[in-house]
Structure 1
Amino acid sequence: MNKNIVFLLLGSNIEPRMNYLREAEKLINQRLGNAVSASSVYETEAWGYISENAYLNKLISVETTKDAFETLEILIETEQFCNRQRTGSDTYSDRTLDADIIYFNEEIINTDKLTIPHPRLQLRRFVLEPLCEIAADFIHPILKFNSLQLLEKCTDNTKVEKF
């Protein structure tokens, strides 16, 4: 069986935020595979919409035998287990848990269901800060810059602080 490395960003801005992150990590370890590395937890402002609730975000890398689409299904089920309510619209909203695939190995996937690498990762300081903590030298397979270079180029000024 092939071993894949997937980078996942977990986020929550509805209390109990830390509990949702812990529960998500536990479920991911049980259903997807073991975490290889994990960033610190960061407190961040909402991105793309206005909210009074700050996010807690954490990036983990997981070794898995699942493919990218199986990984996506496990993440959706994990969000549902953590009471995530999807609105069906494209607008951002507060959430108990958001679990996104940032990278899956060095694969490039572009379907209606899944886009990897995450299409907006280079625009988001709340993704890049924790990514640099655990994978500063990982090279974006499309943009051809490593995580640290992407962070240096990022113009996002939202607040991102270790929690």
Structure 2
Amino acid sequence: MSQQKVILLLGSNLGEQKKNLELALQKISEGGNNISQISEFLMSEPVEFASSNIFCNIAAIIFTHLSPIQLLDFIKDIEVEMGRSNDSKVSGGYADRIIDIDIITYNELNFISERLEIPHKKHLFEREFSRVLLKDFI
């Protein structure tokens, strides 16, 4: 399979947020994915849940050989490995998290399953911090 261009959005609002994001990017790279571009860090308020913990966010363009579902499984494994215990799809709501990695786009693919929707419409169209991070990528 050829390399696929993917935009990821990463966020953390627990612990050393920037280090969490850098570690997640390192793990993504170590998994055989090529990180071609990253945005600046952006601090933002939590969205769709209340917390006193501010988020640090970053966007990244990667090139991967993984299919969308393989990539989802890969990034979910990174989240668990880094200590994330709750998944909003499973729990039905958002909470503080050490790391969150979302697939925003995967080439020009439109894909919907129970576990994954590409493109990620909330980040593309509804969330202001996402639009700021993604403005140079899309």
Class of the TM-score when normalised by the shorter of the 2 chains: over 0.9
**Pick aligned residue for 1:99 from 83, 98, 101:** 101
1:32–1:74 contact (8 Å) kept in structure 2: no
Aligned to 2:7: 7
Between the aligned partners of 2:80 and 2:45, the Cα distance in structure 1 is 23
The amino acid that maps onto 1:100 is D
SS for the counterpart of 1:107 is coil
- Structure-2 change in CA distance of 1:42 and 1:26 (3 Å): same
Between the aligned partners of 2:68 and 2:113, the Cα distance in structure 1 is 12
SS for the counterpart of 2:114 is coil
- Cα deviation 1:76-114 (Å, max 9, x = unaligned): 011011100116311110000000000000100011121
Alignment: residue pair count: 135
Aligned to 1:74: 74
Which ranges of structure 2 fall in alignment gaps of 5 or more residues? none
Between the aligned partners of 2:73 and 2:79, the Cα distance in structure 1 is 10
Say if 2:123 is the partner of 1:129.
no
Between the aligned partners of 1:91 and 1:53, the Cα distance in structure 2 is 16
Alpha-carbon shift at residue 6 of structure 1 (Å): 0.6
Between the aligned partners of 2:99 and 2:77, the Cα distance in structure 1 is 11
SS for the counterpart of 1:40 is coil
- Cα deviation 1:100-140 (Å, max 9, x = unaligned): 0000001000111211001312101121111113x1xx3xx
Higher relative contact order (CA 8 A, sep 6+): 2
Which ranges of structure 1 fall in alignment gaps of 5 or more residues? 139-163
**Pick aligned residue for 2:122 from 120, 123, 131:** 120
Between the aligned partners of 1:27 and 1:67, the Cα distance in structure 2 is 18
Aligned to 2:54: 54
Aligned to 1:143: none
**Pick aligned residue for 1:108 from 110, 114, 121:** 110
Moved more, 22-31 or 86-95: 86-95
Alpha-carbon shift at residue 32 of structure 1 (Å): 4.4
Identity among equivalent pairs (%): 28
- Cα deviation 1:23-54 (Å, max 9, x = unaligned): 10000001141111110000000000111000
TM value normalised by structure 2: 0.94
SS for the counterpart of 2:121 is coil
SS for the counterpart of 2:104 is strand
Query: Runs of at least 4 residues of structure 1 off by over 2 A?
Result: none
Between the aligned partners of 2:4 and 2:32, the Cα distance in structure 1 is 11
